[in-house]
Amino acid sequence: MVTSYVDRQGKRLDEYPRPSVAVDIAVLTVDAGCLSVVVVSSRHGEGLPGTFIHPGETLAVAASRALVEKTGILGLDFHQLAVLDEPKRDPRGWVLSVAHSAIARRDDLPEDVQLRPVRNGAPARSLVFDHDAIVDLAVADLEDRYEEELDPGHLLDAEFTLLELRRLYETIYGFEIEKDTFRRRVIGSLVETGRTTTSGGGRPAQLFGRRRDAKMSAHARLQHLAAKGR
Amino acid sequence: MVTSYVDRQGKRLDEYPRPSVAVDIAVLTVDAGCLSVVVVSSRHGEGLPGTFIHPGETLAVAASRALVEKTGILGLDFHQLAVLDEPKRDPRGWVLSVAHSAIARRDDLPEDVQLRPVRNGAPARSLVFDHDAIVDLAVADLEDRYEEELDPGHLLDAEFTLLELRRLYETIYGFEIEKDTFRRRVIGSLVETGRTTTSGGGRPAQLFGRRRDAKMSAHARLQHLAAKGR
DNA sequence: CTAATAGTGTCTCTGAGACACTATTTG
DNA sequence: CAAATAGTGTCTCAGAGACACTATTAG
């Protein structure tokens, strides 16, 4: 490392005390129809998987490493949410945490992973440090991204029915959606496969695939919330 | 600092090598009808004002300190944009930067502050390290927040005409807006003051104030961009 | 047949966009 | 009067929401 640079006060870079920098990851999934988050247990209590960043790593690499080491989860994409910077947020010392989120299909997670529901109606979480707040950020981010794009986390298979898609969005948004309105909203982002499935019980449902670059039309959830005066 | 905690590998917290953590701030303003960013000169070239975080500080405090020390700017609100984490992004060594943005009125900035235009048509910036990318993030963030709310950065006075408001939005969005459509879009977020001003040259324009909680209606800019096929 | 789910026709409402028009000032 | 800016009336278009209707399967 080059250390000969000095700043305006004449201090060398390596004279500054430095914080430890951690990554914490909220891995969200839909388990049994419920939006859930992966947690790990430690001596401090239940929290999100995380680790300290190592030299030469990017934050995404550190996040991958944390998930493998602590949960056995592999190969997710990470989104930065925020930097948690309260000097006293971690009793071990001065630790900044870069909060991340990721989305995973339940069956891409190990069988024995610990999951906690995250929706408001669900039993209260109480994770260590400020990890509850990270989960809230992750959920808000998930909602935003599902509003922009059609199932960007690929929680559904390559082919799915409109009912399956709608149930997924209801799980993520946390409220029911009218089937006719929903159909018209997403149909432009789908391609018919010609195949049908009768697993639902009534008339066979058509199976759809995603269009490339499958945006959601307009901003329905915002309008919905506005209409209800929330 | 408590250092007796150990992690799963049995390492104490203070045994990990730590990155330096910097804050860099893109202060945006409208100067002479042009969206601009505050820059500072150093031996590396022109860059955004920034500093290393000190023990006990939050990032926002470090950002305030950086602005005062390097530009004399006081009292802005900061928004975290992203963490820049490429291990080699800073030639001085391993430096993470938490990019921030802030919005300021031109006349709240010192007279002699260095400003550079940021819009695409403007002369190319070429700031040090990855600071051009931070400016891009700051501009995107500004556009998003001006789309959600009416002049959240309070770049206008307490009372203003619709022409002034529209010119501001045109400067921020980077394209012209129809006056009739714009008027109908924002009028619900304004309160009439009863006063008028004739400084424009033609019929006197009414002066408006902000409503508390002045949201913009719907998401006009997105729809505009979609309509133009961009 | 009924139950159940899939999918459509159609009406209303809202807001964006566009154009033309009227209104009120200065010179 | 002309020029300039402020503000409105009104039409079209698109999409959300809601309701009722038709379609196709299982049993």
Candidates B38, B47, B50; CA nearest to B114 is: B38
Beta strands B95-103; B20-31: pairing state: parallel
Say if B7 falls within a structural domain. no
Confidence of residue B111 (pLDDT cuts 50, 70, 90): very high
Whole-number pLDDT of residue A119: 79
A133 lies in the same domain as A184: no
Mean pLDDT in residue range A159-166: 96
Whole-number pLDDT of residue A44: 87
Say if A85 falls within a structural domain. yes
B129 lies in the same domain as B166: no
B42 lies in the same domain as B105: yes
Whole-number pLDDT of residue A115: 96
Say if B38 falls within a structural domain. yes
Determine contact, residues A124/B45, Cβ cutoff 8 Å: no
CA distance A155 to A35: 11
Domain boundary among B120, B148, B176: B148
Per-residue model confidence as pLDDT tens digits over B30-45? 999 999 999 999 988 9
B168 lies in the same domain as B220: yes
CA distance B201 to A45: 68
- DSSP class per residue in B1-43: -----B-TTS-BGGGS---EEEEEEEEEEEETTEEEEEEEEET
Helices (H) then strands (E): counts for chain A? 5, 9
Say if B13 falls within a structural domain. no
Determine contact, residues B22/A24, Cβ cutoff 8 Å: no
Collapsing DSSP states into helix, strand and coil, what is residue A29?
strand
A137 lies in the same domain as A186: no
Nearest CB to B86 within list A7, A58, A85: A58
Collapsing DSSP states into helix, strand and coil, what is residue B194?
strand
Residue A6 (CA) to nucleotide C13 (C1'), in angstroms, measures 64
Number of domains in chain A: 2
Say if B4 falls within a structural domain. no
Per residue, what are the HEC states of A86-153? Answer: CCCCECCECEEEEEEEEECCHHHCCCCCEEEECCCCCCCCCCCCCHHHHHHHHHHHHHHHHHHECCCC
B181 lies in the same domain as B107: no
Greatest CA separation for chain B: 76
Mean pLDDT, rounded, of chain B: 88
* Phi, psi dihedrals of residue A214, rounded to the nearest 5°: -85, 85
A55 lies in the same domain as A168: no
CA distance A180 to A120: 27
Report the CATH number at residue A108. 3.90.79.10
A219 lies in the same domain as A107: no
Under 8 Å CB-to-CB from B127, ≥6 apart: which residues? B39, B45, B46, B47, B48, B135
Candidates A159, A134, A35; CA nearest to A78 is: A134
A184 lies in the same domain as A141: no
Say if B6 falls within a structural domain. no
pTM, full prediction:
0.89
Under 8 Å CB-to-CB from A209, ≥6 apart: which residues? A158, A159, A190, A191, A193
The percent of residues above 90 in pLDDT, for chain A, comes to: 74
Whole-number pLDDT of residue B215: 79
The answer to whether B5 contacts A92, with C-beta atoms less than 8 Å apart, is: yes
Under 8 Å CB-to-CB from A212, ≥6 apart: which residues? none
Say if A213 falls within a structural domain. yes
Per-residue model confidence as pLDDT tens digits over A68-103? 999 999 989 999 999 999 999 988 899 999 999 999
Q: Is the pLDDT of residue A200 over 80?
A: no
CA distance A50 to A16: 25
CA distance B22 to chain A (A): 10
Q: Is the pLDDT of residue A24 over 90?
A: yes
Helices (H) then strands (E): counts for chain B? 5, 9
B30 lies in the same domain as B58: yes
User: Residue B114 sits in which domain range?
Assistant: 19-148
Report the CATH number at residue B204. 1.10.10
Which residue, counting CA atoms, is nearest to the C1' of nucleotide D15? A218
B177 lies in the same domain as B134: no
Determine contact, residues A70/A49, Cβ cutoff 8 Å: yes
Residue A218, CB, less than 7 Å from strand D?
yes
Per-residue model confidence as pLDDT tens digits over B57-82? 999 999 999 999 999 999 899 999 99
Confidence of residue A182 (pLDDT cuts 50, 70, 90): very high
Domain boundary among B103, B123, B148: B148
Say if B5 falls within a structural domain. no
A40 lies in the same domain as A117: yes
The answer to whether B93 contacts A18, with C-beta atoms less than 8 Å apart, is: no
Whole-number pLDDT of residue A1: 39
Whole-number pLDDT of residue A164: 96
Chain position carrying tokens 């408006």: B208
Which residues are within 7 Å of strand C by their Cβ atom?
A 161-163, 179-180, 183, 196, 200-206; B 178, 180-181, 184-185, 198, 201-204, 217-218, 220, 223-224, 227
Candidates A129, A55, A135, A133; CA nearest to A87 is: A129
CB-based contact (8 Å) between B40 and chain A? no
Domain boundary among B119, B148, B177: B148
CA distance A70 to B93: 29
